[in-house]
Structure formats: C-alpha cells, structure tokens
Amino acid sequence: MNFRTDLALERHESVPKSSIEGIELTVKECNGIKVTHITVTNEKGEKAIGKKMGRYITAELPGLERCADNMEQWSKVLADEIRSLIPKYGTVLVAGLGNRDITPDAIGPECISHLLATRHIKGEAGMPESLSGLRSVAGLVPGVLGNTGIETAEILKGVVSKIEPSAVIVIDALASRSLSRLGTTVQLCDTGVSPGSGVGNRRKEINSESLGVPVIAIGVPTVVDGITLALDLIEECGVDLAEEKRRRIVQSEKGMMVTPKEIDLTVKRAARLISLSVNRALQSDMSASDITAIVSTV
C-alpha cells in the first residue's frame, strides 16, 4: 500500500479491479447511507487488500453536521448491521478503546458513557419498568497501555474469562486516507482490531482467536495520517511521484495525526450515533427515543 488507512473500503478502492480475487463486494443504500459489504474470502483477497479474511461493512453517512436530524434513521441502519454480526443471545461486553485525553482517540470511552449497561440490574428493586426484559450488556473502558502498563488485549481476555459474554464489541478510533471520512464513515468488521491503530500505536490484536468469543470491531476514522495527507496533496498539485518513492515515504515512521479543527464535535457526534446504534442493536424492543431518554438520565 502506498498510503495508510484502517478502512478495508479504501484499500479495496486502491486496488486495480481486474486483479482482485478472493473479495466479494456488494453495495446498497438505506436511509441515505451507502452501505458496502466487503468479504475477504481467501488468502488472495487478504493479500490484495491487506486485510484479514472476514466481513467488513462500511457505512458512509451524508455528513455528520446533519446528524441531529437523522439520528433515528441512521442509527437504525447501523443497528441492523451490528445485529447481523452478533449472536442473538447472551451477555455482550462492549469495550471503548483509546485515550480519553486525546480528543480524536476518545471516541471509544465516549461511547461507553452513553452505553446502556444492564448486566447488573436484573431483579434489582426500584428499577424503572422500561429496564425490565433487557438484554444483558456490560461496558468497559480499559484505558491505554501507557497509563495502565497492561495491554488492552490482556484486560479484555481477563474480563471475558470471568463474565463469559457471548460476544465482545470493541469501539475504537481509526485512521482513514481522506479528511472527508472523519466522523462520517463507520466500519464494522468481524476480524477484530489492533487498539491504537488510529493514532499509530499498534498493540496486541483483539479478535475472536485471542478472546475466544466472537469479536465485532466498530471503528470510526477520526484522524488522517500526516504522511498520507501530504502525499495526497502533492498529487493534487499535479506532481507525479513515482510509486516506489511514495511507498518509501509512507513506510517512514513519523506519527503525525491530522484532524479537523472541530474534532471535538466530530467525536461527540459520532459517539452519540455509534452508542445509540449499539444500544438499539442490543435492545431491539426499545425505540431510539426511549433509549436516548434513559441513557441521558440513568
């Protein structure tokens, strides 16, 4: 690859169509959202796009600034896709990865603040009626290696071994190639995640193999890699960089994140949308407005 991205969709786009084997792709549109399903079916596909075998679902929203007016419909689309990836029964553990202290990396923890955690309230007295009959959900903000000294994968493995969920959903920030995707594209996949990849700190993989239960990763691009951005600008300027030169520059490590000025709003809006979508996926009998009302006050 001669640029950096965590999105299967962007990798797929960059590959000459003729040469792809082992990739299935379908596109549909729901409620104004373009939903692309990419399935990597074998090793040829893996090699072609540099992503592991599995399913990658990408939802492209028309623009987060219209989020307030479309929360209900957009979250429905995402909830349906999330539900298609998780088992029907059993506790689901939702983990918000990333560092609260770095705005574009805070999307995971921010989502957990809006999560409807219910695993503990079965049979508790005085619970609002609206909370009975709910699916069991647990939430966790594991923190980051630099502060805890513990790999996120280790923390999750430990907690999974105790509470034995039927699935784990991890939410994390991603890096995309393009600024226009920040906060407006959501990637769901069943192949797990390397925490910190959005901010360039790849850590131990968190996936179905390492945790022993299905792992669904929900990622939202909140940064563009600095080198990638610069190279794209070069090309926009009409400068023709040799493929080889571009690749060499991409491989140099610089660790710069590029974000828009209003990154706080981007993260806030995307976290609202993702957390509502997860809550709806898990509590399929509740309406969006009921969930919003409860989460904002429980």
Distance from C-alpha of 275 to C-alpha of 116, rounded to nearest angstrom:
9
CB 194 within 8 A of CB 206: yes
Q: Give the phi and the psi of residue 6 in degrees, each rounded to 5.
A: -100, 0
Of positions 141, 167, 170, 215, contacts a second copy by CB under 8 A? 141
Vertex 186, ends 183 and 190: CA angle to 5°? 150
Closest CB to a second copy among residues 86, 145: 145
Minimal distance, residue 157 CB to a second copy, in Å? 6
Pick between residue 154 and residue 205 the one whose CB is nearest to a second copy. 154
* Alpha-carbon distance values, 81 to 75, 85, 245 (Å): 10, 7, 39
Applying the rule CB under 8 A, the residues between 55 and 84 that interact with a second copy are: 64-69, 71
End-to-end CA distance of the chain: 46
Looking at residues 144 to 183 of the shown chain, list those that interact with a second copy (rule: CB under 8 A): 145-151, 154-155, 157-163, 179
Query: Smallest gap, in angstroms, from Cβ of residue 168 to a second copy?
Result: 13
* Binding positions for a second copy, 23-42, rule CB under 8 A: none
- Please list, in sequence order, all residues whose beta carbon lies within 8 angstroms of the beta carbon of residue 298, skipping any fewer than 6 positions away: 116, 128, 131
Q: Which is nearer to a second copy, 52 or 157 (CB)?
A: 157
**Segment 265 to 294, residues that bind a second copy, using CB under 8 A:** 265, 268-269, 272, 289, 292-294
CB 174 within 8 A of CB 186: no
Whole-number Å distance between alpha carbons of 138 and 173: 20
Distance CA 153, CA 289 (A): 34
CB of 52 to a second copy, least distance (A): 24
Q: Which is nearer to a second copy, 29 or 235 (CB)?
A: 235
Among 45, 98, 108, 143, binds a second copy (CB under 8 A): 143
Where in 83-112 is the site for a second copy (CB under 8 A)?
Answer: 99, 101-103, 112
Q: Considering only residues 111 through 130, tell me which ones interact with a second copy, judged by CB under 8 A.
A: 112, 117-121, 126, 128, 130
Judged by CB under 8 A, the residue of 136, 176, 197, 222 near a second copy is 136
User: Which of 14, 201, 208, 210 contacts a second copy by CB under 8 A?
Assistant: 201
- 213: contact with a second copy by CB under 8 A: no
Report if residue 297 touches a second copy, rule: CB under 8 A: yes
Are 163 and 93 in contact, with CB atoms under 8 Å apart?
yes
Residue selected from 17, 88, 244, 261 as contacting a second copy according to rule CB under 8 A: 261
160: closest CA among 87, 94, 204, 83? 94
296 binds a second copy (CB under 8 A): yes
Ranges assigned E (strand) in 1-150: 23-30, 33-40, 54-60, 92-96, 137-140
Residues 207, 254: contact at Cβ < 8 Å?
A: no
Q: Which is nearer to a second copy, 49 or 173 (CB)?
A: 173
CB of 132 to a second copy, least distance (A): 14
Integer Cα distance of 222 and 259 in angstroms: 7
**Interface positions, 230-249, toward a second copy (CB under 8 A):** 230-231, 233-234, 237, 239, 241, 245, 249
